[in-house]
Structure formats: structure tokens, C-alpha cells
Amino acid sequence: MDIVSNQQKQRMHPHKFTLWVAIGSLVMMFAGLTSAFIVKSNQVNWKPVTLPRVFWISTVVILLSSLTIQLALRSFKDREMSKYRVLIGITVILGAAFIVLQWMGFQNLWAQQVTFKGAGAGQFLYVIFGLHALHVIAGIVVLIVMFIKAFFGKTKLYSSVPVEVAATYWHFVDLLWIYLLVFFLVIGGN
């Protein structure tokens, strides 16, 4: 049975709209965490944190993956399916690389005695970057499902809505990362 009807005049597909509302909700969560950070950074015994260099590499990687998923979306719309599969595959690999790099960053920090003990920016960094990484992992899972479907899907998909939704989400976690990085550079470093 059909659920979403195109009969109605609508500006945006309901699924895309739902994603935008979900993004608003995620923004609130990270706004809550970063404002908690600001409140706490005024307390005594606050220790700032310096970001290891590996986070810069991960930034480059996730920016690249944003580019590849955009290209994937374009090739899907042009019905160039082989190019689409390759680009989705590359995006998945870049996403996985991002997660690995984040993990290396955590290990690097932990080795510098930035642990859960005491107080300071480090604890927030683990929670906030960790939550962000979880959202990237969720995105990777979605991309893997789409990748498999592009190869083995029995029904041909012509609607670009799922790809657009995935791409928008992916750009969002990318932008979110940039925000978090800048936040920790500007406010976390002092």
C-alpha cells in the first residue's frame, strides 16, 4: 500500500523534510553539550586541551568524503550507475578512515594524560567527538546499505530521494565536525 502520496502539492519530499527536522534536533543536542562546556569552563581547576594533529587529517578526509558523496548524487541523477557505485564505495572508505583517525586522536590524547580523571576540556572532547563519531558511523551504515542495494537491488530505483537524504545527512555530519573542531580550537584551547 502506498503511504506517501505525490498527489498533494508539496514543495519538499516528506522524507527530506523529516531529515531537516532531525538535523534541527541533533543541533540542539550538540548545542546543549557545547553550552555545557562553556558553562563549565568557568569553573576552577579547568584544564584546556590541545588538539593532536591527527584531527586535522581527519578533517581533510571528511571534507573529501563530502565531495565524493555530492559527486555520487550527481552521477545517480545522470543515471551513471557504475560511477555512482564507485563514488559511494569511496565515501564509505573515507568515512571509515575518518573513524579510525578519530580513534587515533583519542589514543594520542589519552597517552598525553588527558583522561577521565580530574576536570577539563578533555572529558568533554571524548563525549562530544565520540557522539559525533557515532553519528558518522550511523551514516556509514546507511551508505553501506545503499552500496549493497546498488549492486544487488532487484528493483531499479529511479527516485533520487534516498540518495539526496543520505547526502544531506552526510554533509551535516561534516559541517558539524567543522563546528566542533573550531569550537575546540577557539574555546577549548584556553
Partner 1 sequence: MSEAMNVHSGVAAAHAVHHDDHGHHEQSFISKYVFSMDHKTIGKQFLITGMVWAIIGGLFSVLFRLQLGYPDQSFPILETFFGHWAKGGQIQPEFYYGLVTMHGTVLVFFVLTAGLSGTFANLLIPLQIGARDMASPFLNMLSYWFFFIAGIVMLASIFVHTGPASGGWTMYPPLSALRQAGEGQKIGTDLWLISMALFIVSSLLGGLNYISTILNMRTKGMSMTRLPLPIWAMFFTAVLGVLSFPVLLSGAILLLFDRNLGTSFYLSDIVINGEILPNEGGSAILYQHLFWFLGHPEVYIILLPAMGMVSEILSVNSRKPIFGYMAMLGSLFAIAILAFLVWAHHMFVTGLNPFLGSVFVLLTLLIAVPSAIKVFNWLTTLWRGNIRFTPATLFAIGFVSLFISGGLTGIFLGNSTIDIHLHDTMFVVAHFHIVMGVASFFGMFAGVYHWFPKMFGRYLNNTLGYMHFWVTMIGAYLIFWPMHYQGLAGIPRRYLDKKGWVSFNQFGELDKMITVVSIIVFAVQLMFVFNFFYSIFKGRKVTTPNPWGANTLEWTTKINPGHGNWEGEIPEVHRWPYDYGKDGRDFIPQTEPVGANESKH
**Footprint of partner 1 (CB under 8 A):** 1-10, 12-15, 17-18, 21-22, 24-26, 28-33, 36, 39-40, 43-46, 116-120, 123-124, 127, 131, 155, 157-159, 161-162
CB nearer to partner 1: pick between 61 and 172: 172
Q: How far is the CB of 68 from partner 1 (least distance, A)?
A: 22
Shortest gap between Cβ of 145 and partner 1 (angstroms)?
11
CB of 14 to partner 1, least distance (A): 4
CB of 18 to partner 1, least distance (A): 4
Query: Sign of torsion, CA 69 73 74 76?
Result: positive
Element housing 106 (H / E): helix 81-111
Residue number with CB closer to partner 1 (61 or 106): 106
| Contacts for 38-44: CB closer than 8 Å, 24+ residues apart | 38/187, 40/119, 40/124, 41/121, 41/187, 43/119
DSSP reduced 3-state for 152: helix
Short-list 47, 171, 26, 172, CA closest to 121: 47
Distance CA 39, CA 117 (A): 19
> By C-beta, is 30 or 90 nearer to partner 1?
30
Nearest CB to partner 1, comparing residues 53 and 117: 117
* Shortest Cβ 43–partner 1 spacing (Å): 5
Residue number, 13 or 85, with CB nearest to partner 1? 13
Phi, psi of 90 (to 5 degrees): -60, -40
